[in-house]
Amino acid sequence: MTKFPVVYHPDYVTPLPAGHRFPMPKFQLLRDLLVRDRVIDECQIYQPGPPPREWLQLVHEADYVQAYCEGTLAAKAQRRIGLPWSEGLVRRTCTAVGGTILTAKLALQHGVACNTAGGTHHAFPSYGSGFCIFNDMAIALKVLQLQSLIRTALIVDLDVHQGDGTAFIFRDDPSVFTFSMHCGINFPARKQQSDLDVPLAENTGDEEYLAVLRSHLNALLTRLQPDLVLYDAGVDVHQADRLGKLALSDKGIFARDRTVLKTCVATGIPVACVIGGGYGENMNALIYRHSLLHRAAKTVLTQ
């Protein structure tokens, strides 16, 4: 089985002001690169839709959801998100949440599925932060539980920043185990408590990073036996990332993604992947780093 599902929608991209540091074009460029390099075929691409507000409210407070969707969020709360409000961004945000829900459902059917967006792990129930508006991973898991598709899940968050929003959302929920391996001195300044936090020193490189990951991942899967793994494959761990402080190479990121996917496949646990954070001046280099997740999936599934 090599034709794993890949989730994408043109609404993943919406205009931002010139010079904004969030690399909005990367989502379409990633999709285009995957097809051009024949990592995937067009027939593997599934298109999501936006979820109903009731699904957003499984995680987020109704007043916050309404204020954001209708453009009445207070200016201070909007600044904390770091993205200027627009109707297009509302559509983009909701469609990306729908994309992660679809990715999770496809993973249950096919064993592996990859979004070309997602990983908004800094969103809390009543506010957004760090370019994250609604917490797509938390919403997806709540929807799958509501629909009795899963009971338990493991979030493997390997973005360079701690998954503070998801840690907070699931802090009292034993059905979802949150594992965050991140740079200890990076954003957010105030960390939340995940079920397992592994803070790494600045400039941790490939060899040490992979050794630490392997020392935890196998044990977690064996002990928890979750119905689904939700994997945040942020590439802001890269040595050239503008907002990260670790020192992984392209080779290291590919080995990381391959390790996560191979371990899940070997244990028969479905894994749904989101691309997480990634920031850089060189857009071509950035989208290539994001494509390593999908390249790793293809490699694992052809063995």
Is 122 one of the annotated active-site residues of the chain? Answer: yes
Terminal CA-CA length for the chain: 9
Half-sphere exposure of 131 (CA within 13 A, CB side): 18
Q: Are the CB atoms for 267 and 111 separated by under 8 Å?
A: no
Q: How far is it, in rounded angstroms, from Cα 297 to Cα 111?
A: 11
- For residue 238, list its beta bridge partners: 248
Candidate list 122, 161, 182, 238, residue with the active-site label:
122
Q: What does the DSSP assignment read for 99-159?
A: HHHHHHHHHHHHSEEEESS---TT--SS--BTTBSS-HHHHHHHHHHHTTS-S-EEEEE-S
For the record, the structure tokens of 184 come out as 């200890």
C-alpha angle with apex 142: 140 to 147, nearest 5 degrees?
Answer: 95
Using CA atoms of 224, 290, 182, 281 in order, give the dihedral in degrees to the nearest 10: -170
List residues with catalytic annotation: 122
